[in-house]
Every structure is written in C-alpha cells, then in structure tokens.
Amino acid sequence: MLKSCLLLSGLLALLTACNQPHSTTADAQETCGPAAPAAFTIRHPAWAANASIYEVNIRQYTPEGTFRAFEAHLPRLQQMGVGILWLMPVQPIGQRKRKGTLGSQYSIQDYRAVNPEFGTMADLRHLVDAAHQRGMHVILDWVANHTSWDSQLVQQHPNWFTKGKQGQFVPPVSDWQDVIDLDYSKPELRRYMTESMTFWLREAGFDGFRCDVAGLVPTDFWNSTRPELEKVKPVFMLAEWDELHDPPFLKKGEFDPNTGLLEKAFDATYGLRLRYLLDSISRGQQPTAAINRYLEVERAKYPATSYLMYFTSSHDINSWDGTEYERLGKDALPQAVLTALLPGIPMVYSGQEAALKKRLRFFDKDTIPWNDYPLQEFYTKLLQLKKSHPALRNGDSCSEFEALPVSTSPDVYAFRRQKDEAAVLVAVNMGDKPHELMMRGLESGTFRELFTGQILRLGETSKMLLTPHSYRVYELVPEQD
C-alpha cells in the first residue's frame, strides 16, 4: 500500500496518516513519511499517542457540582478508555456584569485561586492525583485572552487591558459583555500569565492546558510559554482554534485564522471545519465525498505531525448550537464513530455517554441527567479500540488511511486504517435508505464487528449491508498459525 502523505482521487482515496509517533525527545521518533517542515518543532508527550480527550463540566456533572463528587466517576471514565481529562476553568468567577446566576466559567476573577463552589485546592489536587493513579492525565481550561470586570488584574494592573477611544475597558467580542480584553503588548502581563500557568502545573499537578480562543492571543506568547511549561513537565496543549475555519464568534474575515499555533506551541487544535461539514452532511446539504476533500485540505495545510481534535459536541456546541440529537438526528452515533476513528484525536463531552438530549444552561446550575449511562458501552468500545489498536494511534506515520470506493451513495462513507498486519474497517450510512456495499479491491481477511461480534470474511465479491443511519466497525482477526 502507498505511503504518501495524502492521495485523493474521486471516491478512491488513499490517505497516509503521516504523523510520527511522539516522544518527549526527537531521538525516539520513527519515520515512515515525509518530515514536517522546519517551522514545526512541536514534540507531543508520549502519553498522548493513543489518548482520547474527555471534557469535564464540573458545575453540571453532579448535583453537588464539586471536584470530590466528580472524582467518584473516575473509575467509570478509566474503564471507558479516556486518556486526557479536560477540566473547564476552575478559578473564581467575576461578579460584576455576571451573566445568569452563576456566571460564565470563562469570566476569570483570580487566576491563581479555586472557585469555592467547586471545592478547595486540596480537593482539586486530590482529584488530579486520583486521575494520575488511574493512568489518566488532566489539562486545565486556560482563559488568557480576557478577565472578568472585577478581576484582581483590573484592580492591580489596569494598564494591562485594552482600552477604547475614551480610555474605557472593552470586551474582546461584542457579545461577551461580562469580560474585558487583555493587552499582550505589555511584557509584565505576558510574564504574569506564563507564571500563572506554571503555578497550576506545580500546585495542582495539571499536565497541560486547553487554551480558550487561543488565536486571539499573540502566537509568540504561546511559543515562548510552552518551553517554560516544559521545564516543569511534558505538557499537552490544546488550542480552541482552527486555521481552516473562521472563528464562529467573529464576523467572516474579521480575524486572520492563520496563526501558526501548531508549529511550536500546541499539540492540537479544534477540527471545526470538519465539525460543520459533518453537520451539513446530516442536513443533506453535502455528500459524504466532501469528507475526502476536507482531508485533502487538512493535509495540505498541516504536516501530519499535527493533531486535529474531532468531536460531535462540546460545552459551546451543546449550549448554543444544540445537542447532537438536535443537530445530527439519527446520525448522532454514526458521526460519533467517524470522529472517534478518523485520523485525529477524538473528544467526548460530559453527558454524551448519557445520550444527553438537552442543552445545558451555561450560566446557571443544570445537572446532567445520567439515566444509567445508556451509551457507556458504546463509547467504551470506541475509546478502548482507539486506545489499544496499533493502526489508530495519534500521529503515527506508519499507519495508513484509505477511503474506500464501496458505494456511489452520497450518504455512505467507508474507510480502512492499517498498520502492518493490524487493520480496522469502518462504514457508516447517514441516509434514510439501506445500502449494500460492494467490498471489491480489498485484501482478503476475516474481520470481527466491534459492537455485535459479527464476522465478515472479505474476498473477491464481498458485500456488506448497511441499514439506515447505521455504522459498522470491523477489526481484522489475526490468522492462526
């Protein structure tokens, strides 16, 4: 099979996931594809190579809404196969111009303190230690772009903020009236922010950061901060940004998305362009072949050493755009399969394993109804496969990706990922009609379906029936000697 970074031709597409397996040192890297351009110097922590991300909304996770109450869920999340826990901001929330009764968790009042609603620093440290003991890593949601109107920085360093024509504080985006913009032309602010991030690595044991609206903060700040964080420990950095898609909270063309965040500072950014593409496919506005075109653009933009995060929901999407059941309807689970197994790093949001069918209130208490976790087994099978399968590792240049020409339907998409003798075959149908897939041109072999245990034997004229809005995930069964 070819090993080029990307070759797409109509429906027959051969993509190579040219990412390299990552270590904290360049010497440990295995090379199977072209080297990244010299500008891309990022080295991912070794523990991120087979990880999936799980976003934790502490406020809504339990009736108590505390670190201690959430900690009781760690055994379940470990069993589910979660590798990286992303905690939404844990700091105190501003009072002035607060939205709702509790305010936005992204309106930071004090960068180096814990929101008493969630517990104490000791409680937080206990949670992070407990996650580490279960083999998981924890990243903190970091809001570097703005603070609350009554933050400590406003009181102590008012000159660190962007000012309007009359010298007034200003929000970074017109709709964000509960926060005010920081001015990164101030060296003292940069130093304070970097020191605050290292504070959380040392004091609470965090393993990195998810950085809110990272593209609104100068890239050179992130580039200089990452080495300082690495002096404490290897870190994982996730940017809320996508250079392939204009930020949804800004007017089109209002801000240049080409920030270079993935070159030196960040391990991953959002795959927002794919997210909105998949939404449009489920609305019948685009065919599934558009996924191939997206992947071609992604590989042309980024070297394969970069991670793109794929997902069907998040705190923003759930609250403002709707649940996956509102947006995707019967395609919610087929799309979850795609985002977990396409070449990217997958993310699951709090409550998705509960088949959450309501928008969680953003500024008020709104506990997730878990309902005995109806999708716990579904996500466990997906994330555990992602975690353990050799062909599914994040950024492995020796793992091949092939989009399969098994159907002419605009509703069907199928692909294979393979490394050496290990392979996974995935097919989804996002239409209202059943489709019989002709599996011609594939090497013979025996595959076991992940969710049902059904056996598929590929040969010269193999067929697969996909019912409406369904998915199949087959793992190659090793031949017995």
pLDDT at 17 over 60: no
77-101 burial, b if ≥16 CB within 10 A, otherwise e?
Answer: bbebbbbbbbbbbbbbbbeeebbee
pLDDT at 444 over 90: no
Q: Cα 381 to the chain's mean position, in Å?
A: 18
Asked if residue 58 is part of any domain, the answer here is: yes
Three-class secondary structure assignment of 178-197? CEEEECCCCHHHHHHHHHHH
At 355-389, the pLDDT tens digits run: 999 999 999 999 999 999 999 999 999 999 999 99
- Beta carbons within 8 Å of 221's beta carbon, 6+ residues apart: 144, 184, 190, 193, 194
What is the structure's pLDDT at 36?
77
Over residues 156-165, the mean pLDDT reads 97
Asked if residue 420 is part of any domain, the answer here is: no
- Residue by residue, DSSP assigns 26-38 as GGG---SSPPPPT
56: CATH? 3.20.20.80
d(Cα 54, Cα 81) in Å, to the nearest integer?
10
Lowest mean pLDDT among 43-57, 244-258, 312-326, 436-450: 244-258
d(Cα 2, Cα 399) in Å, to the nearest integer?
11
Tokens of 229: 């964080």
Stronger pLDDT, 162 or 253, i.e. the higher one:
162
What is the structure's pLDDT at 439?
82
d(Cα 349, Cα 69) in Å, to the nearest integer?
18
d(Cα 14, Cα 1) in Å, to the nearest integer?
9
205-226 burial, b if ≥16 CB within 10 A, otherwise e?
Answer: bbbbbbbbbbbbbebebbbebb
Asked if residue 235 is part of any domain, the answer here is: yes
Q: Which of 6, 29, 30 is nearest to 16 (CA)?
A: 6
| Whole-Å CA distances, 94 to 113, 184, 342, 344, 443 | 12, 21, 39, 36, 60
Q: Contact, 400 vs 390, CB < 8 A?
A: no
Asked if residue 122 is part of any domain, the answer here is: yes
pLDDT at 25 over 60: no
pLDDT at 250 over 70: no
At 390-417, the pLDDT tens digits run: 999 998 877 899 999 988 899 999 999 9
Q: Contact, 87 vs 56, CB < 8 A?
A: yes
| Whole-Å CA distances, 445 to 1, 260, 422, 425 | 16, 42, 11, 11
Our count of domains for the chain comes to: 1
Asked if residue 366 is part of any domain, the answer here is: yes
Type of residue found at 49 = A
Asked if residue 250 is part of any domain, the answer here is: yes
pLDDT at 433 over 90: yes
Q: Contact, 350 vs 57, CB < 8 A?
A: yes
In terms of residue numbers, what domain contains 241? 44-394
Asked if residue 15 is part of any domain, the answer here is: no
Q: Contact, 388 vs 52, CB < 8 A?
A: no
What is the structure's pLDDT at 392?
96
At 259-301, the pLDDT tens digits run: 899 999 999 999 999 999 999 999 999 999 999 999 999 988 8
Q: Contact, 82 vs 54, CB < 8 A?
A: yes
Question: How many C-alpha atoms does 224 have within 13 Å on its Cβ side?
Answer: 13
- If you count them, how many residues does the chain have? 481
Over residues 292-321, the mean pLDDT reads 93
Tokens 């019967």 sit on residue: 330
User: Could you tell me the pTM of the whole model?
Assistant: 0.93
**Residue 256: band (very low, low, confident or very high) from pLDDT cuts 50, 70, 90:** low
Asked if residue 383 is part of any domain, the answer here is: yes
